[in-house]
Chains A and B, each alone.
Chain A
Amino acid sequence: MTVPTIDAMLAMPGVTMALQTLTSLAAILIVVWLTRRLRLGGDPRIQSEEQARQLAEEAICGFDPQAVAIDRAGIGALARDAMGRVLIIRQHGSHFAARLLTSHANVRLDERFLTLATDDRRFGTITLDLGDQAAVWAASLRRLGASTQ
């Protein structure tokens, strides 16, 4: 049996591409390891109602909150505008992301904690510690989607 030389192996279809892919994969793992090693990333928190309003406006241009509730740790917030639209804002990595809540089907109240999910499964579920406001918001959210049910 003849053992192929390195040159012959590299000449085989797909071998070079496979090697490049494996090398790239290794480089990716090293870079991602370095991001953790260098402690890159952030832990942003919503510090004020003003910031929550700004995040709402950034998520939907022209969204003007009439009411805002912020999680006690600042990991997320709820905002309602004059049209009755409710926006969930939550931490996403070093930034925030938001979705409109269109139904109360995935809203759960547990004392001061309000757990919410939207139609977008990948956006995930968020539990907000809203204190005394949790029950108030839970009651108001029951009206969401009422016209379609």
Chain B
Amino acid sequence: MSLNLGNIIFKPTEQYHLNDITLNFEPGKMYTILGRTLSGKTTLLKTIAGLLSPDSGYIQFEGKDFLAIPVWQRNVAMVYQQFINYPHLNVKQNIEFPLKQRKMDPNLIEKEVSDAIQKVGLKGFEERKIQELSGGQQQRVALARSLAKKAKILLLDEPLVNLDYKLREGLREEFKKLFIGSEASQSIFVYASTDPLEAMQLNGDIIVIDEGKILQTGSAKDVFENPANAKVAEITNDPAMNLNKGKIDNNKLILNNEIQFNLPSNLQSMPSGDYLVGIRATDLYLDDQGFDFQVDISEISGSETFLHLHHQDTKCVATIEGVKSYEVDEHVKINFDLSKIYLFKESGELHYSPYQN
């Protein structure tokens, strides 16, 4: 029943779009592909759907060679980032389109379609034209269409990214309910996202992808606590984890000639040498005893303020509780929560995580 991808390579131009992808998907589980824009998320989903054929590698589903099956016979469902529906059909016709295509029994179609409409909360909109719906409703139609199909593989390509904030929050909750609960649980869900927060909230397995390469796979907790390398630490945090060159020398952690700490107990055993020192924005805090940083930009995000700071060569972003305004070049005192420091080797590999035991 599982879906296996092996050594998938897709290189339409000079650059790799997918570089040696090997993955296993189990039914009834939710997978989140987390990566930046152009990292290969959509390409990977389209390859699974069959819209793109890889240059080499294999895809197996239920023991069969998936690559030999054309898209229209694969029984997958895909929801796009753009709101893609059939503009010449109304809501109901849109949702029943794939079922009719499959020549299902009309009574059964009727039932499935009204079920799906009920689930996504579009009751009463059946006869509406697609153009008469709001963005959120259009995406619900696309969602209902993919639900009604009861496809064994469901691919969601940043389905919420074009919606406004409020709607996004609401729909994301519904997503989890729709897909993880109920009878659909024998399907494989693959959800692509650029948003680390979204990936954490969906709480499935996370696949971190960058430049067409898989960097890490694991549970949300695992990826959050033990990012395999500095790149993963950047991608899986928003704002990205602060990474600065530093070294351990003489029982001290040195970022530059002023920012220096006595090694805390948890780092005592670390060998001396050069490291990339990582710390999350949330683990920096305002402290009168702290170091003197200069503000580059301050941005307000919801109930928090992101401060982009620098001190000599050391740059970092700090998340400050509450909405506060800072002038550019203003000086602030910032301190580090040393118990949350990550150390990466200069090559980028994780050397020490505060969650390691």
Q: Do A and B come from one complex?
A: no
Chain A residues within 8 Å of B, Cβ to Cβ: none
Chain B residues within 8 Å of A, Cβ to Cβ: none
